[in-house]
Structure 1
């Protein structure tokens, strides 16, 4: 790549990070790293993205802070429209994020979500339909092992099916651009029947589970609603924006941070620590076995 173009791109990225990054002091440090680094050896946009991303994450390890390469040319749109455009294409490609739904022996349902939890205006009908289908199960396994991100509003919608009718405060999010905190609650009314807040619920995680997938697991864990089984998750709790800085490069900048109302903190850097640690590949069978034992014991005790 031409040095002038590299200098222009890194200068623009540094300015955007100063302006938007959720922690201004860290944003300043990251911007200085970009301004002093030498990327003259970058062979092209993909190589430059990898080199810059390594430096972006060198200060505090924020995995949402990236210069992301796209093989297909990005549309020249403002950040919000760019992100929505990408989500629309991904939702259509990924069947609205409903990866698998199975009825298992013993009245157990398994619902796998991913790779993203898309915003309800895009895929809410599909999510509601899937949650309606599992509502009558005696127990539910929610598979988030390949859930790589998602929308807080999607998390709130899913959680609304996993609790009762009383609103439950599940998460808060601070946004630097507005200097305000938004609250997220379950809804007393959702389309169709709920699974509810009393039946057994296991959530499966892996080292790939990230961002919105982590929030769903973390919220349910902190509220004591689910047993989390699998591996420690990736550790990304900062919602981000995406900005086109080159036809094939998107700068993703975290502009907010999650604040759980129970723990007062989040899973950034640490990941969600499972209640039952087991290899991700073995988590599903473990959950099935434990749930069948629990349901069998409940039947013997006269519990429906």
Structure 2
């Protein structure tokens, strides 16, 4: 049976090899090995071990993506089976309708889309397109990300693409330490539903909005394409890979960082700060009232068809 020392050692090796800031990985390694030597994890197993190590990881380096995770589903420990958690993520997205939880038409011809995850672009495109098709004739749109816990950078770029007129907008860049490369993310040229580039958009956030959800909110806000309403988000801007270090334990290693093309930075550690700060529970009502006022002030701005 694998020991706690072996589990933690493997996790630290993964962090040292892949964490986006190598100098911080050294600090993390020293801190956790010191805790291990002091007997901090003796007698712990399963979720309790993961919780204790995660707390110490984030004390050494306050990156909310840096975690030891317990999973009920057994994980393969064969190196060639490793995919950074992609297969598990894709399966969860299929089970959750690619993150789209609700689509409605509200009073005043205002569309509402609620997301709990950001799907990958290839697998999520048809569902994302179906949601956007349903709101295509609305006069304003509310994108509810209050319960959105993360997802795919490519999917975030696809969602954002709907709110710009073409494929000429450079949204963000992501630097990946493991490959020492920077990938540019631009608006998508071809979308399966009409663009929503000419009408008001409101994005709702909460204290639990995280990662990919923050990406959409931050990008649309930075490019002046949406008004963010709600609470400041959690602050996790580092794309992350997952590695099995035991049959039921994963280490999540933030191996990349986002750089917004407008701000030159990202939301790591600070969150997305709303344009209209209100308690998350009041965000929808606040956004709807703002949208109705805006539409009433522009009576000629009807819904577009494409």
TM-score (normalizing by structure 2): 0.93
Counterpart contact for 2:133–2:194, Cα < 8 Å: yes
Report the secondary structure of 2:126's partner residue: helix
The residue aligned with 2:12 is 14
SS of residue matched to 1:99: strand
Name the counterpart of 2:214.
214
| TM-aligned CA deviation for residue 44 of structure 1 | 1.6
Contact 2:84 2:241 (8 Å CA) reproduced: no
Alignment of 1:14-33 (within 5 A): 14-33=12-31
Check if 1:172 corresponds to 2:173.
yes
- Residue 77 of structure 1 and its aligned partner are, at CA, apart by 5.4
Work out whether 1:289 is the aligned partner of 2:289: yes
> How many angstroms apart in 2 are the aligned matches of 1:260 and 1:278?
25
Unaligned runs of 5+ in 1: none
SS of corresponding position for 2:210: coil
Verify: 1:234 aligned to 2:244, yes or no.
Answer: no
Alignment of 1:22-171 (within 5 A): 22-37=20-35, 38-76=39-77, 78=79, 81=83, 83-114=85-116, 116-171=117-172
Within 2, Cα distance between the matches of 1:99 and 1:75? Answer: 31
Q: After TM superposition, give the deviation of residue 80 of structure 1 in Å.
A: 5.2
Say if 2:180 is the partner of 1:182: no
**Superposed CA offset, 1:119-172 (max 9, x none):** 122222111111122122110000000000011100111111111024211111
Residues paired across the two proteins, number:
298
Mean Cα deviation higher: 202-211 or 289-298: 289-298
Say if 2:76 and 2:82, in contact at 8 Å, map to a contact too: no
Root mean square deviation of aligned Cα: 1.5
- Deviations for 1:182-206, whole angstroms, at most 9, x for unmatched residues? 000002321231112x210000000
- CA offset at residue 85 of structure 1? 2.0
- Give, in angstroms, the shift of residue 75 of structure 1: 3.6
**TM-score (normalised: structure 1):** 0.94
